[in-house]
């Protein structure tokens, strides 16, 4: 494998820094113009916290340049710009709440959480040298992930919000443990699949057909079933669906057998109809999805379609170019800064703006899959592809739920929505991807190209 020259590495570092500075300039100018338009000034807490965010973003870029110089250059700048757009929109909604007599400070909190996420990412870039050491603690990570998932069920600290008991509250501080449990369980899934990679490529003969040996997925399926039971007990079927997609996608990448996907789809269909019959919250979301403009559903006291209808009106109000940050009435939609930030941003940015936003997400997802394709380590391939697949699935289900392509899931838009735990977890996912990109890469073979699904490194040498 040939190493890039010093001149090439310097140009790459310069491009990465320029992109970061460009993202900071766009984000800060948008935030400042919105604040000056609505509030007439920028108060010192925002200036101080924003300055810390900018300094940490530049520090992270420098550390990535020095420690992972050959990594994909757009990841940090794009994620930074998405985070700043989210902060601008959340703060804009705070100002609208203040005008109506109900002031909130979610935007300032989001800026503080961005500083925490950037600081943790900088620490990981500076001191965490080899992600492959995570394999040694895979079962410990499984236990930590399950404990984090079950934490909200403990009396006294679990808090139920909007019908789902997924929050943990200590004093005035609340967070969602499931966001970090996703990281720990993804590491366990990748480690288990890499260790038992041959078994998932074998088949058992049943009659005239050949099916995968389901017993090989027994331990993995047992962990996922336990995850599903915990999340069902907490009433959060959206995160349960995300874990299921992560589980199915990683098995497919490890085995390269479409039958595993078919088994996953069959299990999903069974779980879908079972959940619709057993859980009122889920059946209510299906009714809202099918009949959002029904007068009976729109006016009922609990589980009404009011939120989704207001979100649809916000989508249409933006038109082609949007009302601009500071225009429109995004706060009319309930939870416009979290669950429905996609619709409120569409009102502000318009159809063209939201398409550009989705293109930024596409850049991150594409970069993640490129990292998975070009790393030589099978564990890294599985971990990167699983994390990126879950991120892509989350974006699709949120955008699909708000536009009535799918039922609402209760998930939030990565990097954009208000919530410190989700923002921190999203940045840690990106850092794991960058660290995987630091690992050795395979030499391209003219006959057997190294692709995401051409996982020759998963095969044992004969």
Higher per-residue pLDDT: 119 or 261:
119
Question: Which of 7-11, 260-264, 380-384 comes out lowest in average pLDDT?
Answer: 7-11
Q: Give the tokens for residue 69.
A: 């110089």
CA distance 169 to 171: 6
Q: Measured on CA atoms in the order 398, 19, 112, 322, is the torsion positive or negative?
A: negative
> Residue 166 in contact with residue 239, Cβ under 8 Å?
yes
> Residue 353 in contact with residue 410, Cβ under 8 Å?
no
Residue 432, H or E segment: helix 420-437
| DSSP character at residue 338 | T
Q: Which residues contact 266 (CB under 8 A, 6 or more apart)?
A: none
pLDDT at site 162: 67
Give bridge partners of residue 212 from the DSSP assignment. Answer: 203
pLDDT at 290 over 80: yes
Higher per-residue pLDDT: 118 or 226:
118
Angle separating helix axes 75-99 and 106-127, nearest 10 degrees: 160
Q: Give the tokens for residue 97.
A: 């709440």
Question: Which of 7-11, 159-163, 233-237 comes out lowest in average pLDDT?
Answer: 7-11
pLDDT at site 132: 87
| DSSP character at residue 4 | P
pLDDT at site 462: 43
pLDDT at site 4: 53
Question: Beta-strand (E) ranges in 108-208?
Answer: 158-161, 164-170, 173-175, 203-206
Around Cβ 106, how many Cβ atoms within 10 Å? 18
pLDDT at 452 over 50: no
Q: Give the tokens for residue 86.
A: 């989210």
pLDDT at site 217: 63
Residue 143 half-sphere exposure toward CB, CA atoms < 13 A: 4
Q: How confident is the model over 59-105, as pLDDT tens digits?
A: 999 999 998 888 899 999 999 999 999 999 999 999 999 888 888 88
pLDDT at 326 over 70: yes
Nearest to 73 by CA among 454, 365, 434: 434
Nearest to 372 by CA among 446, 265, 458: 458
CA distance 312 to 310: 5
Higher per-residue pLDDT: 167 or 114:
114
What mean pLDDT is reported for the chain? 83
Angle separating helix axes 306-317 and 341-374, nearest 10 degrees: 80
Give bridge partners of residue 175 from the DSSP assignment. Answer: 168
Q: How confident is the model over 230-286, as pLDDT tens digits?
A: 777 767 777 777 887 788 788 888 877 777 777 777 777 777 777 767 777 777 888
Pairing assessment for the beta strands 158-161 and 164-170 based on DSSP bridges: antiparallel
Q: Measured on CA atoms in the order 168, 170, 171, 176, is the torsion positive or negative?
A: negative
CA angle 183, 184, 190 (to 5 degrees): 90
Residues counted in the chain: 462
Around Cβ 293, how many Cβ atoms within 10 Å? 10
First to last CA, the chain: 24
pLDDT at site 111: 96
Q: Give the tokens for residue 90.
A: 């959340």
Q: How confident is the model over 102-114, as pLDDT tens digits?
A: 888 899 999 999 9
- Model confidence at 1, pLDDT cuts 50, 70, 90, reads very low
CA distance 204 to 217: 13
């Amino acid at each position: 494998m040939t190493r890039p020259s010093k001149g090439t590495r310097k140009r790459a570092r310069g491009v990465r820094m320029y992109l970061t500075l460009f993202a900071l300039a766009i984000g800060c100018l948008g935030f400042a113009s919105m604040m000056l338009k609505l509030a007439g000034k920028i108060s010192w807490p925002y200036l101080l916290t924003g300055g810390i965010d900018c300094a940490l973003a530049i520090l992270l870029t420098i550390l990535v340049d020095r420690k992972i110089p050959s990594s994909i250059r757009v990841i940090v700048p794009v994620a930074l710009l998405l985070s700043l757009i989210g902060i601008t929109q959340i703060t804009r909604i705070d100002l609208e709440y203040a005008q109506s007599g109900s002031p909130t400070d979610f935007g300032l909190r989001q800026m503080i959480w961005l500083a925490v996420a950037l600081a943790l990412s900088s620490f990981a870039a500076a001191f965490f040298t080899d992600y492959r050491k995570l394999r040694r603690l895979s079962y410990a990570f499984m236990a930590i992930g399950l404990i984090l998932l079950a934490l909200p069920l403990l009396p006294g600290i679990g808090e139920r919000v909007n019908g789902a008991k997924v929050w943990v509250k200590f004093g005035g501080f609340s967070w969602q443990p499931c966001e970090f449990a996703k990281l720990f369980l993804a590491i366990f899934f990748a480690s288990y699949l890499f260790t038992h990679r041959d078994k998932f490529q074998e088949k058992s003969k049943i009659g005239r057909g050949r099916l995968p040996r389901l017993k090989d997925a027994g331990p993995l399926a047992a962990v996922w079933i336990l995850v599903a039971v915990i999340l069902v007990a907490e009433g959060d079927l959206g995160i349960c669906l995300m874990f299921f997609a992560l589980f199915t996608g990683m098995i497919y990448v490890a085995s390269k057998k479409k039958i595993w996907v078919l088994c996953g789809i069959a299990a999903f269909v069974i779980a879908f109809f079972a959940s619709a019959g057993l859980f009122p919250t889920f059946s209510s979301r299906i009714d809202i999805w099918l009949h959002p403009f029904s007068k009976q559903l729109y006016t009922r006291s609990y589980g009404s379609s009011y939120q989704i209808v207001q979100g649809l009106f916000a989508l249409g109000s933006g038109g082609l170019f949007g009302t601009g940050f500071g225009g429109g009435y995004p706060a009319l939609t309930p939870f416009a800064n979290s669950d429905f930030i996609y619709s409120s941003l569409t009102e502000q940015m318009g159809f063209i703006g939201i398409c550009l936003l989705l293109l930024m997400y596409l850049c991150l997802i594409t970069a993640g899959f490129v990292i998975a394709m070009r790393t030589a380590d099978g564990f890294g391939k599985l971990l990167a592809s699983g994390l990126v697949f879950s991120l892509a699935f989350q974006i699709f289900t949120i955008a699909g739920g708000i536009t009535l392509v799918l039922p609402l899931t209760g998930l939030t838009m990565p990097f954009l929505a208000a919530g410190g735990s989700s923002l921190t977890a999203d940045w840690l996912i990106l850092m794991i991807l960058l660290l995987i990109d630091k690992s050795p890469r395979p030499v391209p073979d003219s006959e057997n190209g190294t692709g995401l699904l051409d996982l020759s490194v998963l095969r044992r040498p004969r």
